[in-house]
Structure 1
């Protein structure tokens, strides 16, 4: 009888461990899903739409993909993907080149997304210009649309790639009177 109690306790212990593992895995999956959605939300803000953000993330994970592969991998409609890729290419957020194939037939474009540091550098410039436009609103209103976007706001990003723009000199940003 003591053997049966020990066996039951061991089995019960294994079930508790498995249950704890299941709960941890569910929690981890939920956290990853929330993290992924947070990243997509941030990218959607930078790239204007969630569709474009999903395409960007897919291309970072799967460079040199065709529009068909992107559509299949993201679950988006092929026409939506083609339109978004054309816009992202025009904005230089993605690069494209012809896929080389040995056989005859058309060679589709394959796409690759720019690095996140390049994406942030471009966004920083846009935000800086918009903030300076707000600071210079009175000047713009009194002169019409000829007001400049130069102003007191200078945003610099550090810790990025070597391609990131250098911060402006203090003399350049101190031109306000």
Structure 2
């Protein structure tokens, strides 16, 4: 074996190691991104279960509770309970799946758009921030002005307007 052969082998080995590292990073990046989204949605939607369901429905609209349970790995009863709550809160919509033939047509679920979700929670967050801001007044410790010092405004730009900047 010549010195040239061993240097070629070293280059191939380094390239192989580099490729393996790139593949591992590429595989882990979406998982960590997804987990970050799930964490944020868990805060917005109150539980990780509801966050996983919401995220699944963003990726797979018009899914049944059975499809959601299979896709998320959650128990079917847990999915049905969370879907009922999310539907009652207006965060998901449901309609009967149209199917030919006899039998029950299950509900299909679709989640509201992220912009609508954010808009729906802003008032609650604003109220909570105002309570913290006025904590001394609520505790009777200090005089403070009446009013709501925290105001959150959400502006949603359409896709066409976003490119104009």
User: TM-score, normalised to structure 2's length?
Assistant: 0.81
For 1:145-160, what aligned pairs fall within 5 Å after superposition? 151-160=148-157
**CA offset at residue 134 of structure 1?**
4.0
For 1:117-156, what aligned pairs fall within 5 Å after superposition? 117-135=115-133, 151-156=148-153
For 1:1-12, what aligned pairs fall within 5 Å after superposition? 6-12=4-10
* Separation of aligned partners in 1, 2:23 and 2:114: 29
**CA offset at residue 65 of structure 1?**
0.2
Structure 2 vs 1, CA of residues 33 and 136 (structure 1 numbering), >3 Å: closer, same or farther? same
User: TM-score, normalised to structure 1's length?
Assistant: 0.76
**CA offset at residue 105 of structure 1?**
0.7
Provide structure 2 residue ranges, at least 5 long, that are not aligned to the other structure.
141-145, 160-165
- In structure 2, the partner of 1:15 is 13
- In structure 1, the partner of 2:90 is 92
* Separation of aligned partners in 2, 1:127 and 1:161: 24
* Separation of aligned partners in 1, 2:75 and 2:147: 42
* Separation of aligned partners in 1, 2:138 and 2:126: 17
- Residue correspondences, number: 154
Is this contact kept in 2: 1:129–1:150, CA < 8 A?
no
Is this contact kept in 1: 2:98–2:105, CA < 8 A?
yes
* Aligned-partner SS, 2:93: strand
**CA offset at residue 29 of structure 1?**
2.3
Is this contact kept in 2: 1:117–1:161, CA < 8 A?
no
* Separation of aligned partners in 2, 1:10 and 1:128: 63
* Cα RMSD for the two superposed structures: 2.5
**CA offset at residue 36 of structure 1?**
1.2
- In structure 1, the partner of 2:110 is 112
For 1:72-91, what aligned pairs fall within 5 Å after superposition? 72-91=70-89
